[in-house]
Structure 1
């Protein structure tokens, strides 16, 4: 795949174009009994770049569909514009490439004298996701109703994963999720990267920010497929996966009790941003339901930089 033409349309080979940053990887071998939560490994640090220069950071996660892998993040991350007002967020420069710090897992049998039966090797590799082609045309997919409902979610195909084995790449929908009952006040975790990575970070792992569902979750928000959370988040967490997690006995969405549960998790959606409220920004954030991902990939709509702007 690295010798194939780059998907951006430049005419160069992928390895000499948007794939030129994908050789960097970090491998860590932990003690045989070390275990990371797979949901930590599913959240990806995003290095936003324009003309090969760092212009910001955000969060995303990988989604497996058939033999393809997509980067899921926010529309405002790829355009640098507020999805509801159209205003530029950090000046007029938007990324042309996103360097995705993806996690890979490799399992192998442990020596028979060890108590655990397998070794796990964690590896982090940079995957390059071009945001637009050589003509400036967007390469991301957005929701078919994005232009009118401003659904702040995009899916970007990762070109270097389409012709090689992707078994080891950690995607969030590889996780065996349960379906829980949700109430206002239920705990959620927003798993992302509020802090910019530096050379001192040996292995990038996300921060788990705790919050609660802020209002009736199935009431929607302003006729949009979203719900609100009360959480103290930071700028770099845009695009973070939002997880509902219960420790101990839990209640399923069919109202059955699971008395023998230790930890039960459900992926709820994609964190977007905090709401604006006049001159301040309260700790109320928007989460787009996970169903928006399925709708984007079932009816992919080519990305747009200009929507039908409204005011909130």
Structure 2
């Protein structure tokens, strides 16, 4: 029986398997970001390097380092005129992406902070898929002002779980630090949420609860009053999730989000990363 996907944002994240040849080392999340007339696969540095960005120690218990990603993505598979106009039959394909070309990494990392910013971008097309880039115009975002206490949604695959048919699980939280401040001198902020392994690389969206203030509307960044107000629910892409603060699962329950500016700096900088096999 056909079902309707109620949220366009569910088409943004994709599940990834982190591989050494055909051995699965772990699972994670990735998404696409569109900038400078190109699409880029975005995920965490530790997903492609297999190392912790702070200490550079290898994450896998047997010291295995990834050399591939397996990406699961949605694709139209109609093949007939049986479905009503406007409807689609969607299937999930898997493709393997080599992380090295001639022994050199294919990913870009932050031009200033390198792996200290736990984010990478890989130029990769999405033609022929049903994927939305995280910043797609079709998602109708509003440049709402980020502030502590606003709701956030982290869309990913905790411990490899899906929301059915490889759609993501939505984890809810709130902004827990002043987003304008770069924590530890790096472009990141904290969110208050109980996230789990497998969500590394998840897109993070902020939602403005317009019913709380402004009499049911919000004024976006750069606005000057009710003439610029947005009526109804307002959302904004905020960045990429990379894991919890520290190793403890339950004490702080703070997650790290790298700002959207970190992604754009990586893409614009086009600085190739260093091979994890040579660190």
Do Structure 1 and Structure 2 share a fold, with TM-score over 0.5?
A: yes
* TM tier, smaller: 0.7 to 0.9
Match of 2:213 in 1: none
Structure 2 portions without partners, runs of 5+ = 211-215
**1:77 aligned counterpart, secondary structure:** helix
**Aligned-pair Cα RMSD in Å:** 3.1
**Residues paired across the two proteins, number:** 263
> Which stretch of structure 1 is more off in the superposition, 69-78 or 174-183?
174-183
Q: How does 1:144-155 map to 2 (within 5 A)?
A: 144-147=111-114, 150-155=116-121
Q: Which residue of 2 aligns with 1:26?
A: none
Alignment equivalent of 1:88, drawn from 58, 70, 92? 58
Give 1:106 deviation, angstroms: 8.2
1:1-312 paired onto structure 2 within 5 Å: 30-31=2-3, 34-65=4-35, 68-91=38-61, 92-104=63-75, 118-135=86-103, 137-147=104-114, 150-158=116-124, 161=125, 165-166=127-128, 168-174=130-136, 175-196=139-160, 203-248=165-210, 249-251=216-218, 252-253=220-221, 254=223, 256=225, 258=229, 260-261=231-232, 263-276=233-246, 282-305=252-275
Classify 1:123/1:226 alpha carbon distance in 2 versus 1 (closer, same or farther; 3 Å).
Answer: same
Conserved? CA contact 2:19–2:67, under 8 Å: yes
Q: Distance in 2 between matches of 1:140 and 1:119?
A: 36
Q: CA deviation at 1:243?
A: 0.3
Aligned equivalents of 1:51, 1:288: Cα separation in 2 = 29
TM-score by length of 1: 0.74
Q: Whole-Å Cα distance in 2 between the matches of residues 303 and 271 of structure 1?
A: 20
String of CA shifts for 1:198-237, please: whole Å, max 9, x gaps.
9xx9610111111111111111211111111111010111
Whole-angstrom CA distance in 1 between matches of 2:249 and 2:154: 25
Matched-pair contact (CA < 8 Å) for 1:104–1:170: no
Distance in 1 of aligned mates of 2:111 and 2:236: 25
Rounded Cα–Cα distance in structure 1 between residues aligned with 2:248 and 2:43: 26
- Relative distance call for 1:167 and 1:205 in structure 2 (3 A) is closer
Asked if the contact 2:100–2:106 (Cα under 8 Å) also holds between the matched residues in 1, the reply is yes
CA distance in 2, matches of 1:279, 1:129: 31
